[in-house]
Amino acid sequence: MGTEIERKFLLRDDSWRSRVSSRTLYRQAYLHFMEREHGVFRVRIAGGKGYLTLKGALHGCSRDEYEYEIPVTDANELIDNFCAGPSVEKYRNIVMNGSDRWEIDEFLGENSGLVLAELELESESAFFERPSWLGMEVTGDMKYSNSHLAGNPYRTWKTSG
């Protein structure tokens, strides 16, 4: 079993942009065979590859995670024919800060305007250096989860409260 330990943050400014080492377009959607509080089943296309991922319930900043590569044609068909709700599209930017590999997601479409930074850690108590561009932590705030954004896009937050 895999475990994902991840911290998630809003960004203070755009100064991270000059340090991007790679940028990949992601398209993902969710199969809602279980309640979100128990986990999600995701289909993702990134960098010309397809993936199926099962993520368990979040406990602090950790959760069980299983991910498997699948043919990209299968991933497209699953997203188009089996996933509930719209897909989430974003650019994932990789930014190194010391030895820390930050993933900065710039959301597109109905989630345009939202930018989040994520850092995967070896343990929940692992030390990491906070870059100057890092803003408020939103780890555990499910409204910032991609599965929530699929059904409750960022652009609607201003109108729905």
DSSP states of 31-56 = E-SS-GGGEEEEEEEETTEEEEEEEE
Q: Angle at CA 56, nearest 5°, toward 52 and 61? A: 115
Q: Hey, which residues are catalytic here?
A: 30
The candidate with the shortest Cα–Cα distance to 26, out of 122, 149, 143, 135, is 149
How big is the chain by its Cα radius of gyration, in Å? Answer: 15
Handedness of CA 99, 23, 7, 129 (dihedral sign): positive
